[in-house]
Structure 1
Amino acid sequence: MRPGYDPQGEPLLDSPALTLFNGLLGEPTATRLLTQLDQALAWQRPTLRLYGREHPIPRRQLWMGDPDARYRYSGRDFLPEPWHPAVSTIRAAVNRRLADAGLSARFNSVLLNRYADGEERMGWHSDDEPELGPDPLIAAVSLGAERPLRFRWKDRSAEAFNVWLPHDSLLVMGAGVQDRLQHALQPRRLPGMRISLTFRLVNPGSPVA
């Protein structure tokens, strides 16, 4: 077992289940894959309609997965790009880490987001679209610059909190997280590019209309 390998992870919350794993890929693999994703993927900046106007998203992204893993987000339908070998390598590492932790999951898709610097962001949301089922498990890999993911309780029963996501880390959002919490990547004056990969299971044949 390599130094820094973290088979069980750090439990951030027990209920709902939120766990952070470090050292997912190990070096130099993590940095090599970060560079490969940055340079090899056809990053997109789609527009989303808000209050009747079209706005480009404040980051670049790419939806990837099995052919039937269609997805609807913020009023747009996304058809998946085919799996890139680098992303398949990361998915295999996620599956191994979850198995080591006694968790079972299957992922047929991934949303990749590229943040050029700390000013690029993602607003408050939950990954609770109908295509993901009633209680999805989301596995989020972070590569590149460390940034905090902000969480808040939907019922405001407790204070909001940050989870700092270092390079080569895996955040597992398990049962109940999407139902009870929202999360956001808020702008900060932090240097460096970051790529996140949020693996998920889209129910094949789910309607996108």
Structure 2
Amino acid sequence: MTDLFAPKPTDNLLPYDGQVNDLGIVIDYPSPLFYNLVTELPWQADVVTLFGKTHVTTRQIVWMGDSDIDYQYSGHIRQTIPWTDTVFHVKHHVEQKLLALGIDVNFNSCLLNYYPSGDDGMGYHADDERELGAQPIIASLSLGATRKFIFKHKTIRQKNKPVKVELYLESGQLIVMHGDTQRFWKHSITKNKTAATGRISLTFRKIYPNNRS
């Protein structure tokens, strides 16, 4: 049955200070793609340093893209591996979907996160590193288990609580964050111990190496 209240791809999911669009399910066969990526990519644990303490996560990552597009966040540099045929094809497919919103972008990199179980999540953060530019366009494709994705405004509060926007991302679903989103909002993936399978996110972005400090 059609959900009469489902957002249109052109609807902004944020109330202000940014732009997030939900393009819905854009992958016809997400399960084979999920298992292809799980088994074929060189996953490695992520390493983050926060407040002087270094942590090795059970969440695993792959940083992929054009040559010489290394990426630094949380105190560590991620070395780029070349595009695989599969991920490059997905990149092109995502770019074509964004054209329908009037967003013309050629992504030169992709951060893939693998959450092996519902015990794995991602804390609040903004993708606001200098090399992403002032108003980064970040397209996030979800595969595998449905997980809750939360946006939290950095400063605005209502009834003494941060303003939040919550959505559940299904396998094959694509959202795009652009405009001032990274400047004013943080986002996270919450843990969910009832999740039966893992989840992969592919976050396509454009790195500007000359913007590095």
2:26 matches 1:24: yes
Give, as a single letter, the amino acid of the residue that structure 2 aligns with 1:195: I
Quickly say closer, same or farther: Cα 1:121–1:191, change in 2 above 3 A.
same
Quickly say closer, same or farther: Cα 1:67–1:205, change in 2 above 3 A.
farther
| Match in the other structure for 2:208 | 203
Q: Whose strand fraction is larger, Structure 1's or Structure 2's?
A: 2
SS of residue in 1 equivalent to 2:107: coil
Cα distance per residue 1:26-55 (max 9 Å; x no partner): 13xx22211110000010103223343331
5+ residue gaps in structure 2?
A: 1-6
Deviation at 1:147, TM superposition (A): 0.3
Bigger mean CA offset, 81-90 vs 158-167: 158-167
Give, in whole Å, the separation in 2 of the partners of 1:120 and 1:174: 26
CA contact (8 A) 1:68 1:205 kept: no
Give, in whole Å, the separation in 2 of the partners of 1:165 and 1:57: 22
SS of residue in 1 equivalent to 2:13: strand
Deviation at 1:66, TM superposition (A): 0.7
5+ residue gaps in structure 1?
A: 1-5
CA contact (8 A) 1:146 1:167 kept: yes
Give, in whole Å, the separation in 2 of the partners of 1:152 and 1:19: 16
| Match in the other structure for 1:78 | 78
TM-score (norm 1): 0.89
Following TM superposition, where does structure 1 have runs of at least 4 consecutive aligned residues deviating by more than 6 angstroms?
A: none
Q: 1:193 aligns with which of 195, 198, 203?
A: 198
| Match in the other structure for 2:56 | 56
Deviation at 1:10, TM superposition (A): 4.8
Fraction of identical pairs, as percent: 33
Q: Calculate the aligned-residue CA RMSD, in Å.
A: 1.9
**Aligned positions, number:** 201
Give, in whole Å, the separation in 2 of the partners of 1:163 and 1:66: 31
